[in-house]
Amino acid sequence: MAKAVNTFLKSKMNKDLDARLLPKGEYRDAYNIQISRSEGEGVGTVENVLGNYAVFDFENITGISGLYCIGSHSDDNSNTVFIFLTDNDTDDYHPTGAKSNHYIFACNPDASAPVCLVKGAFLNFSQKNPIYGINLLEKLLFWTDNRNQPRKVNIDLANPSGSFNSATHYVTEDQVSVAKYNPYECIELYQKSYLSTNADDYETTMKDVSSSIIQMEELVIF
C-alpha cells in the first residue's frame, strides 16, 4: 500500500486553497503544533507542543467576579507579565461598589502567587478601553488607555512585601499621573520666624550662600 509522506519545509498555513490542491510544504490547519526547524533529519516535521493552562485565579485572589484583562506586557529579563484587570464594562466612572475594581498585577509563573502593584477605583479602567501602549523602562511601568492621561508606577515601590493587602503605596490619581499639577501659588521668600517669640514675626528664606558662615537675616515685621 502506498504511503504518503509530506514535510512542511515552508512552515506555511494555507486556508485559501482546497485541501486537495495544497502544494508540498504547506498545511491546511493546525492545533498545538510547531514546525521543527532543527538541523537534523527531522527538519520540517510537525511536532506537538503543550497547550495553555491556568496559573493564577485572579477572581479567587481578589474576591471580585467578572474581572477582565484589558492589557498585558511581558518582561523577558525578569520573567514577569504585567496584567491590567477591571470589572468595569461601561464608559462611566464608578467610585465605589461594583465596576469600581481595578488592578495591576505582576505575575511570575515560577512564584506561588502574583504581586498586586496597584488597586483602586482611581485607576478608572474600562473594558471598552483596552491598554495597548505599555512600556517598562528600568523600574518604571508606563501605560496609556486612551481614556485617562498617561500614567506610570515604580514597580519596586508599589508593593515591596508582595502581599495583596500591602498594595497601598499608590492610592490617588496624582501619584500615578505623568502630568503633574502646575504651581497655583506664588513663590514665597519668607516664613514664620523660629527665633522670635512674637508670632507675627517673619524671616526671609533667602540665605547668604557666598559667605563661609550663613548670616542671620533680619526679622521682617508685617
The x, y and z cell numbers of residue 47, run together, are: 511536532
Amino acid (one-letter) located at 154: N
> Please, which pLDDT band fits residue 154 given cuts at 50, 70 and 90?
very high
What cell numbers appear for 43 in the block? 527538519
Phi-psi map region of 124: left, alpha, beta (phi>0 left; psi -120 to 50 alpha): left
Q: What is the pLDDT of residue 52?
A: 75
Predicted TM-score of the model (pTM): 0.66
Instruction: Count CB atoms within 10 A of the CB of residue 113.
Output: 13
Instruction: Encode pLDDT of 122-135 as tens digits.
Output: 999 999 999 999 99
Q: Judge whether residue 84 has pLDDT over 80.
A: yes
Reported for 139-143, long-range contacts at CB under 8 A and 24+ positions apart, including other chains, are 141/73, 141/82, 141/104, 141/117, 142/178, 143/71, 143/73, 143/84
C-beta neighbour count of 96 within 10 angstroms: 8
When the pLDDT of each residue in the chain is averaged and rounded to a whole number, the result is 84
